[in-house]
Amino acid sequence: MVENSFRLFPEAASSIAGQVDALYAYLVLVSAFFSLLIAFLVIFFAIKYRKRGNEIPEPVDEHSIGGMVLEIVWSVIPLGLSMVMFAWGASIFFTESRPPADSMEIYVTGKQWMWKIQHNEGAREINELHVPVNRDIRLTLTSEDVIHDFYVPAFRTKTDVLPGKYTTEWFRPTKVGAYHIFCAEYCGTKHSGMIGTVYVMNEADYNQWLGAGSGEGSMAEQGQALFNQLGCATCHASAINKQNGRCPNLNGLFGSTVDLKDGSRVKFDEAYIRESVLYPQSKIVAGYDDIMPTFKGLITEDGLLKLVEYVKSLGPKNGTQTSAVPAATQTSATETTAGAPIKGASQGSQPKTRNQDRTSPQAGSVPGNR
């Protein structure tokens, strides 16, 4: 259970937690050692060199070898200690920012003031996240309004959740139990109430929980239904597409690099799909015209994530080479952040009625806590 008793450190319940704590202990020990040393020397020298009567101090020899040695020692030792902090910290940072390839994927949408979570298999939750123990979990996060931050102290991991962009966070829970979720970025009046619980379960319990399901089908299935409802299928579905060639065929594209009309290239990833639905004119695939209408205002962030899952299900997974776009060579992921305005950022403390929620096919179908 979530513990209410006072403790200096949160429980360590993820694979990275031990490493973060070790680094933190090193920082504390180095800081404590030098704080005590300096405090001691301040007092010691103040007493030792205090003014006695009319004594005149001896002049200091600025070019003495001893002075030079002292300068070098107190420059090189702190440099070494701080470079250890840098290298150690960077190594943990890189580990935390690179989800393992076969991670289980879960989608998180933050909004004032709740966390909405969608599992690939279709289960949905609010302010609760159920995960199996000893599995790598990759969260893809986005926000419907302002900047939030998904923070699980017991996992020692935290990531900003931004409107108009997908960010990722990963962890490997190592202990069955319930742990706090906090929002770690001030996001309006009820920021402090934007909390939740991660339930880490045995594989069997998790599968049983998942099996209880939403009855709405997997995210990809729901995405496909949305794909048809919104009319995407009339142009992008492969059979029709082959006849008129007006729109890119989406089969097998995910994870590839596509050539754009302006000569640049873009990685066909989650962010590019999102941007193409909301701002279709911003990155047009080479050989096609600017005929796609925007779906901004017609689809929620939850709906976008379902479309992303559907398009993913049509093609190779992230990072794999594909032959769907023969001319493309794999390049590093291109930043494809959609330039969505930060809606509601200036009115951070007011809950808003959102048109998207009403026009979305999923409106009102989010079940509460299960």
- Give the residue, chosen from 117, 152, 183, 230, that forms a contact with ligand CUA under the rule CB under 6 A: 183
- How far lies 209's CA from each of 13, 130, 135, 352, in Å? 21, 8, 16, 33
Nearer to ligand CUA, 147 or 305 (CB): 147
194 in contact with ligand CUA (CB under 6 A) = yes
Sole window of 10-18, 187-195, 214-222, 289-297 interacting with ligand CUA (rule: CB under 6 A): 187-195
Query: Which amino acid, residue 100?
Result: P
Nearer to ligand CUA, 13 or 194 (CB): 194
**CB of residue 110 to ligand CUA, shortest distance in Å:** 6
Cis status, amide bond into 74, omega within 30 of 0: no
**CB of residue 214 to ligand CUA, shortest distance in Å:** 25
186 in contact with ligand CUA (CB under 6 A) = yes
**CB of residue 320 to ligand CUA, shortest distance in Å:** 35
**CB of residue 335 to ligand CUA, shortest distance in Å:** 24
Site residue total, ligand CUA (CB under 6 A) = 9
Nearer to ligand CUA, 141 or 187 (CB): 187
Burial pattern 65-91, b for ≥16 Cβ within 10 A else e, equals: eeeeeeeeeeeeeeeeeeeeeeeeeee
- Coil/strand/helix, residue 277: helix
Long-range contact list for 277-282, CB < 8 A, 24+ apart? 277/304, 277/307, 278/304, 278/338, 278/340, 279/338, 279/339, 282/338, 282/339
Q: Say if residues 327 and 259 touch (Cβ distance below 8 Å).
A: yes
- Give the residue, chosen from 116, 156, 165, 191, that forms a contact with ligand CUA under the rule CB under 6 A: 191
- Geometric angle at alpha carbon 80, from 76 and 85, rounded to 5°: 150
Sole window of 82-90, 181-189, 234-242, 300-308 interacting with ligand CUA (rule: CB under 6 A): 181-189
Nearer to ligand CUA, 179 or 206 (CB): 179
**CB of residue 185 to ligand CUA, shortest distance in Å:** 5
- Give the residue, chosen from 124, 148, 265, 283, that forms a contact with ligand CUA under the rule CB under 6 A: 148
Nearer to ligand CUA, 112 or 222 (CB): 112
Four-CA torsion 358, 364, 368, 370, nearest 10 degrees: -140
Four-CA torsion 151, 156, 160, 161, nearest 10 degrees: -50
Closest to 351 measured CA to CA, from 196, 191, 168, 132: 191
Nearer to ligand CUA, 35 or 192 (CB): 192
Dist CA 52 CA 201 (whole Å): 71
- Give the residue, chosen from 129, 141, 187, 273, that forms a contact with ligand CUA under the rule CB under 6 A: 187
- Geometric angle at alpha carbon 327, from 322 and 331, rounded to 5°: 65
189 in contact with ligand CUA (CB under 6 A) = no
Nearer to ligand CUA, 194 or 198 (CB): 194
Cα 326 to its chain centre, rounded Å, is 32
**CB of residue 191 to ligand CUA, shortest distance in Å:** 4
Hey, how many other C-beta atoms are within 10 angstroms of the C-beta on 325?
18
- Give the residue, chosen from 185, 270, 275, 309, that forms a contact with ligand CUA under the rule CB under 6 A: 185
Binding mask 87-116 for ligand CUA (x = CB under 6 A): -----------------------x--x---
Q: Say if residues 305 and 221 touch (Cβ distance below 8 Å).
A: no
Which residues are at the interface with ligand CUA (CB under 6 A)? Answer: 110, 113, 148, 183, 185-187, 191, 194
